[in-house]
Amino acid sequence: MPRNYIARRIAKEFKDGMYVNLGIGIPTESANYIPEGTRVFLQTENGGLMFGPKPKRGESNPDIANAGAEPITMLPGGAVFDVATSFAMIRGGHIDMTVVGALEVDETGSIASWKIPGKLLTGMGGAMDLLYGCKRVVVAMTHTDKHGNPKIRKKCTLPLTAAGVVDMIITDKAVFRVAKDGLYLEELAPGITVAEIEQLTEGTILNIIEWEHIEIT
Amino acid sequence: MAVQITTAEAVKKIVDQSSVMIGGFLGAAVPLKMIDEIAAAGVKNLTVISIGAGYRGGGVDVGKLVLNHQIIKYVTSHVGTDPNLIKQIVGEEVELELSPMGTFVERVRAGGAGLGAVVTPVGMGTEVEAMAQKITVDGKPYLLFKPIRADVAVIKAYRADPLGNLQYQGMSNTNPIMATAADIVIAEVDEIVEIGEIACEQVGTPGIFVDYIVQGHRYEERKTIYEEMWIATNKL
């Protein structure tokens, strides 16, 4: 349930006419829930704009793939291009929104998603370019790690992918806006209490008193 | 101007300690036949320059060179798809040179275009600062990266004509950029056609950049190879 909830909630951020790059995993799944009547242009950093669902067997094209080298289709009106052009779109500020996963996010909008010293070595891929260049950065992740530790921190403890870039955090438990002065709780997922969010969030929630007030009344 | 040769002849351009750029993107649009030839030739201590490692799980395409322990240095932006490569990096058998993907691409472009450096804000405030030189332009901080070139680039295109003009189909990804950035450029293609069959506006890489053309798998064969790989990994 939580995974599907996050993907559906991400989809509410799609606005008509947006150019969007979705990270692998839950962000990519959110494309299944784009609201009817909303046209979203999906970009893939290996060089495609306006791609569609995966093809049927027998209809794939070995040269039409997403950034994970998985088969996709191109929609009518779509375009393919080289990776320098792709990153001109990304770094040059032409993409309206990116949705990415994260290991940690902090109250200053910094994000850690590419490295755990001594444990995880993958390289940053296109993540740093996307986080720097896209106009709006949405992080989608579980609220806590598999041990139940908060992933929304006062300050990221892991190596950063980018500093001070995150605009919104969507988890399985809540939605936060990340403003210049810090974190604001915007929504609670169904069945989640303010007390739970306070306990499972290390970063300071600037409007928590208002939420507590709402809950009491 | 290009010369058509066999993959067996082409692989001789790559020797021990060569730096080799390999086009493609995590297994997609890679020069499959040439990679097989490099694996079979057994050349060692290669510096491989590629935007990412091979297809997820490792052991296929560029991953074959990893399994053969032919690589001494990997210049890239992402190795997460190949557990064998990660093991060799952690074991210090392979040296890793990372840069963010967009920066990697621009470094290769700079190498091919005669530029002296890439200056970018991406990576500021992260560990990437230690991988570059910091400079200030108009009061703003940037990271300066050096260009990347290779002894040999092995790239993949759809069709070639005898002049070396290349046509791409689908995502050309890193191939047209790498075509500019090596001393010797070998293009593996699905089809070799007569001069004029690739109309001038269809040329993705002009022949001036290409030295050798080799016949790769034909399109239908390649389609079968990828469908089988995608079905086996539950992606299709």
Say whether residue B34 is in contact with chain A using an 8 A CB cutoff: no
SS3 A209: helix
pLDDT at A3: 61
pLDDT band at B102 (very low <50, low <70, confident <90, very high): very high
Would you say residue B113 has pLDDT above 60? yes
Catalytic entry in A13, A29, A36, A45: A45
3-state per-residue secondary structure call for A110-128: CEECCEECCCEECCCCCHH
**For residue A25, how many other CB atoms are within 10 A of its CB?**
16
Query: What is the torsional sign of CA B188, B190, B193, B198?
Result: negative
CA distance A142 to chain B (A): 21
DSSP E strand stretches across chain A: 19-22, 41-44, 48-52, 73-80, 97-100, 104-106, 111-112, 115-116, 120-121, 136-140, 152-153, 168-170, 174-179, 182-188
| CA–CA gap between residue A207 and residue B103 (Å, rounded) | 39
User: What per-residue confidence (pLDDT) applies to A191?
Assistant: 93
Q: Does B21 touch chain A (CB under 8 A)?
A: no
CA A205 to chain B, closest CA, distance in angstroms equals 24
Domains of chain B: 3-115+148-232 (3.40.1080.10)
Distance (Å) from the C-alpha of residue A137 to the closest C-alpha of chain B? 15
Judged against a pLDDT cut of 90, whether residue B114 lies above it is answered with yes
- The Cα of B84 is separated from the nearest Cα of chain A by a number of Å equal to 12
A45 part of the active site: yes
Q: Which of A64, A121, A129 sits opposite B89 (nearest CB)?
A: A121
Q: What is the pLDDT of residues A54-92, one digit of tens each?
A: 999 999 999 999 999 999 999 999 999 999 999 999 999
Whether B141 and chain A come into contact, CB under 8 Å, resolves to no
Q: What is the DSSP letter of A55?
A: P
Count of A–B CB contacts within 8 Å?
Answer: 161
Helices A83-91 and B101-113, interaxial angle, to 10°?
120
Q: Are A53 and A72 in contact (CB under 8 A)?
A: yes
Which chain A residues touch B90 with a CB distance below 8 Å? 121
Residue of B90, B101, B127 with shortest CB distance to A159? B127
Q: Are the Cβ atoms of B127 and A160 closer than 8 angstroms?
A: yes
- Residue A24 reports pLDDT greater than 90: no
Q: Give me the amino acid identity at A40.
A: V
Q: Are strands A115-116 and A152-153 parallel, antiparallel or unpaired?
A: unpaired
- Tokens describing residue B169: 């189909």
pLDDT above 70 covers a percentage of chain B that reads: 100
Q: Which helix or strand (DSSP H or E) is residue A81 part of?
A: none
Task: Categorize the per-residue pLDDT at A213 as very low, low, confident or very high, splitting at 50, 70 and 90.
Answer: confident
CB-CB under 8 Å, B171 with A65: yes
- Listing DSSP states for B17-47 in one string gives T-EEEE-SBTTBT--HHHHHHHHHHT--SEE
Cα A96 from chain centroid (whole Å): 13
How high does pLDDT run on average in chain A?
A: 95
The continuous run of DSSP H or E covering B226 comes out as: helix B219-232
Contact call for residues B50 and B76 (beta carbons, < 8 A): yes
CB half-sphere exposure, A167, CA atoms < 13 A: 14
**pLDDT classification of A2: cutoffs 50, 70, 90:** low
Asked whether the beta carbons of B177 and B201 are under 8 A apart, the reply is no
> How many residues are listed for chain A in this entry?
217
Which residue in B92, B119, B173 has the most chain A C-beta atoms within 10 A of its own C-beta, making it the best mutation to test that interface? B173
A29: pLDDT strictly greater than 60: yes
Q: Are B83 and B112 in contact (CB under 8 A)?
A: no
Distance from CA of A100 to the nearest CA of B (A): 16
Contact at CB, A128 and B80, closer than 8 angstroms: no
How far off is chain B from A211, nearest CA to CA, in Å?
33
> Residue B219: is its pLDDT beyond 60?
yes
Mean pLDDT of chain B: 97
CATH no. for A2-216: 3.40.1080.10
Which pLDDT tens digit goes with each residue over B161-203? 999 999 999 999 999 999 999 999 999 999 999 999 999 999 9
Contacts of A84 in chain B (CB under 8 A): 105-106, 109, 177
Q: What DSSP designation does A54 have?
A: P
Residues with Cβ within 8 Å of A150's Cβ and at least 6 positions away in sequence, in order, are A143, A144, A200, A201, A202, A203
Q: Is the ipTM of this complex over 0.95?
A: yes
Average pLDDT of the segment spanning A133-145 = 97
Backbone φ and ψ of A100, nearest 5°: -135, 160
DSSP calls for chain B: --EE--HHHHGGG--TT-EEEE-SBTTBT--HHHHHHHHHHT--SEEEE-SS-SSTTSSSTTHHHHHTT-EEEEEES--TT-HHHHHHHHTTSSEEEE--HHHHHHHHHHHHHT-S-EEE-TTTTSGGGGGSEEEEETTEEEEEE----EEEEEEEEEEE-TT--EE--S--BTHHHHTTSEEEEEEEEEEE--TTSS-GGG-SB-GGG--EEEE---HHHHHHHHHHHHHHTT--
pTM, two decimal places? 0.96
Instruction: Return d(Cα B217, Cα B204) in angstroms, integer.
Output: 20
pLDDT, tens only, B127-167: 999 999 999 999 999 999 999 999 999 999 999 999 999 99
Closest in B55, B123, B125 to A69, CB measured: B55
Between B28, B121, B127, which is nearest A46 by CB?
B28
* Cβ of residue B115 closer than 8 Å to a chain A Cβ: no
Chosen from A44, A45, A128, A161 to mutate, greatest number of chain B CBs within 10 A? A128
Alpha helices in A19-139 (DSSP H): 26-29, 83-91, 127-133
Q: Which residue has the tokens 């269809």?
A: B202
Handedness of CA B222, B228, B229, B230 (dihedral sign): positive
- Interval B65-83 mean pLDDT: 97
**Residues of chain B contacting residue A45, judged by C-beta atoms under 8 Å apart:** 101
Quote the pLDDT of residue B186: 98
Pick B128's closest partner by Cβ from A90, A91, A128.
A128
Tokens at A31, concatenated: 């494309």
Dist. CA A200–CA B164, nearest whole Å: 60
- Each domain of chain A, given as residue ranges in start order, spans 2-216
Q: Which residues of B touch A46 (CB under 8 A)?
A: 25-26, 28, 171, 173
